């Protein structure tokens, strides 16, 4: 059978665009459809604009920090509208670049919704088109709360387009988005409440990181409500009243719900094409991104596996190479570094202490200190660094950091960990002085041993 295209990608985010460009570079006839905005979540309502807002939030504190170094600077009045306008201009520039990259690679671009009619047929903006291979790369979207008054809350998509910044905001959630926006709004001068179901933010991260972040947020003036659940939200004039299940009531100006994300699969016609989901809407795939339908694949957040932009890009690139090239390049996905752009930021790669301990005894090395900058600035901010070492092999299996430049530092460490570096390799590496990063190669004294129970049980 002759098809209109060799590959049709549904979704113009980072993963879908990479897959399309690489496939076209191999000579495939490729089309991409995007119904909302080119670049997907990351470029428009995720990583990129969020980090711009994080950067904006740091300047006020920096002006004050300068006093310890002899500067007489004073933080001025922040102009939220100017920030959002600058952010919008940058996002528009990036949107245009994504389209230019696709058309430049020879892809056919559709600014339209695409739905599946069967395993090889799609309806795209009123047209019926066919493709030999189809890739679902539609990403995810934030969940809107179901508790009474949930319609009074904003979600992360809305936060990037607020007309004004409220003087008081209450954030519900303990994940990436919640802690990052808590730091953003606090840094811009708002009073911030953070309500988390867990006793610590960032479930799944290393416990020392979680504890350190909670302490840092409290020091920053963020009001923490750990271990709490929402009963309802109601409107009282211009105010919002947040009622917690324990009877506590918080009066606030804006409620921001960051309680999770789900895959964008509703209405795609997956059932008609024979594509199975996991029961929560995410597309089920094998190790090669293949769905239950042999010619249909899914990459990125729509599969709800490692929901990170670089992972989606790697999956898209590998898939295009596998389908149309000489074979896929190998990506190391067992220990993927990730960062949370909280205030201060944190980054991690490899196993947490608990994960390593479950596999056997692990040597734990921890360093906590005041960064050089803040010995003069006077800001109450601490850095924490941690190495998790498998005791039997002495391989460094996890690295974790909370503090300034953590994402930049841990990116480099991820190479060492993925290459199988041992603690001895770290110890014989000469550090750059004076830096915070050198602490990772000068930690000599073991803090504790984790997984002792596992060792004793094996004896």
Fold match between domain 5-142+262-324 and domain 150-259: yes
Q: Which of 26, 223, 374, 433 is catalytic?
A: 433
What is the per-residue pLDDT for 1? 80
What is the per-residue pLDDT for 454? 53
What is the per-residue pLDDT for 329? 78
DSSP string, 414-442: HHHHHTT-BHHHHHTSPPPTT-SGGGGGT
* Structural contact between residues 162 and 253, judged by C-beta atoms closer than 8 angstroms: no
**How would you classify the pairing of strands 362-369 and 448-450?**
antiparallel
Q: How is the chain split into domains, by residue range?
A: 5-142+262-324, 150-259, 344-458
Quick one: how many helices (H) and strands (E) in the chain?
A: 14, 22
What is the per-residue pLDDT for 302? 98
Q: What are phi and psi of 21, to 5 degrees?
A: -65, -45
pTM score, two decimals?
A: 0.95
CA dihedral 442, 448, 451, 454 (to 10 degrees): 120
Q: Is 380 helix (H, G, I), strand (E, B) or coil?
A: coil
**The listed CATH number (3.30.750.24, 3.50.50.60, 3.30.870.10, 3.90.79.10) that belongs to domain 5-142+262-324:** 3.50.50.60
**Rounded-to-integer distance, Cα 376 and Cα 68, Å:** 5
Listed as ranges, residues in the chain with pLDDT below 50 are none
What is the per-residue pLDDT for 455? 56
β-sheet bridge partners, residue 277: 283
What is the per-residue pLDDT for 456? 60
* Structural contact between residues 320 and 19, judged by C-beta atoms closer than 8 angstroms: yes
Query: Which 8-state DSSP code applies to residue 404?
Result: T
Structure tokens at 142: 């934030």
Q: Is 433 a catalytic residue?
A: yes
pLDDT per residue as tens digits for the range 189-239: 999 999 999 999 999 999 999 999 999 999 999 999 999 999 999 999 999
Q: Which fold is adopted by the domain 344-458?
A: Enolase-like; domain 1 (3.30.390)
| Distances from the Cα of 153 to the Cα of 102, 145, 165, 197, angstroms | 37, 8, 15, 17
What is the per-residue pLDDT for 334? 85
β-sheet bridge partners, residue 239: 236
What is the per-residue pLDDT for 326? 86
**Rounded-to-integer distance, Cα 441 and Cα 426, Å:** 5
| Distances from the Cα of 431 to the Cα of 167, 354, 355, angstroms | 44, 28, 28
**Rounded-to-integer distance, Cα 71 and Cα 113, Å:** 54
**Rounded-to-integer distance, Cα 62 and Cα 424, Å:** 38
What is the per-residue pLDDT for 60? 94
Looking at domain 150-259, its CATH architecture is 3-Layer(bba) Sandwich (3.50)
What is the per-residue pLDDT for 226? 98
pLDDT per residue as tens digits for the range 264-295: 999 999 999 999 999 899 999 999 999 999 99
């Amino acid at each position: 059978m002759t098809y209109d295209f060799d590959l049709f990608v549904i979704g113009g985010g980072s993963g879908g665009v990479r897959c399309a460009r690489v496939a076209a570079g191999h000579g495939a006839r490729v089309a991409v459809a995007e119904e909302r905005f080119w670049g997907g979540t990351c470029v428009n309502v995720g990583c990129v604009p969020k980090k711009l807002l994080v950067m904006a939030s740091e300047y006020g504190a920096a002006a004050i920090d300068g006093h310890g170094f002899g500067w007489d600077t004073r933080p001025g009045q922040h102009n939220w509208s100017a920030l959002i306008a600058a952010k919008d201009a940058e996002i528009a520039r990036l949107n245009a670049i994504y389209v230019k990259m696709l058309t430049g690679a020879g892809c056919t671009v559709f600014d339209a919704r695409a739905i599946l009619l069967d395993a090889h047929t799609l309806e795209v903006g009123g047209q019926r088109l066919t493709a030999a291979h189809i890739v679902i790369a539609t990403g995810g979207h934030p969940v809107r709360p179901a508790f009474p008054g949930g319609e009074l809350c904003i979600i992360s998509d809305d936060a990037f387009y607020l007309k004004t910044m409220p003087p008081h905001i209450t954030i519900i959630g303990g994940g990436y988005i919640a802690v990052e926006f808590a730091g953003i709004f606090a840094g811009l001068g708002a009073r911030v409440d953070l309500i988390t179901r867990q006793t610590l933010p960032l479930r799944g991260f290393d416990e020392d990181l979680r504890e350190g972040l909670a302490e840092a947020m409290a020091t920053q003036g963020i009001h923490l409500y750990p271990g709490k659940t929402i009963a309802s939200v109601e409107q009282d004039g211009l105010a919002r009243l947040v009622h917690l299940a324990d009877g506590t009531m918080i009066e606030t100006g804006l409620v921001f719900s960051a309680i999770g994300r789900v895959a964008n699969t509703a209405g795609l016609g997956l059932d008609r094409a024979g594509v199975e989901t996991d029961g929560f809407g995410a597309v089920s795939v094998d190790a090669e991104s293949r769905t239950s339908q042999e010619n249909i694949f899914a990459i990125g957040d729509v599969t709800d596996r490692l929901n990170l932009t670089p992972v989606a890009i790697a999956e898209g690139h590998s898939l295009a190479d596998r389908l149309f090239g000489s074979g896929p390049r190998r990506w190391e996905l067992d220990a993927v570094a990730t960062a949370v752009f909280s205030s201060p930021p944190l980054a991690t790669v490899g196993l947490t202490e608990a994960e390593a301990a479950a596999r056997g005894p692990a040597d734990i090395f921890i360093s906590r200190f005041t960064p050089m900058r803040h010995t003069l600035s006077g800001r109450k901010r601490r850095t924490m660094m941690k190495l998790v070492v498998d005791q039997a092999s002495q391989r460094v299996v996890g690295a974790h950091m909370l503090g300034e430049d953590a994402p930049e530092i841990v990116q480099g460490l991820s190479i060492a960990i993925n290459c199988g570096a041992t603690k001895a390799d770290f110890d014989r590496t000469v550090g750059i002085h004076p830096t915070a990063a050198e602490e990772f190669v000068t930690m000599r004294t073991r803090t504790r041993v984790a997984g002792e129970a596992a060792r004793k049980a094996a004896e």
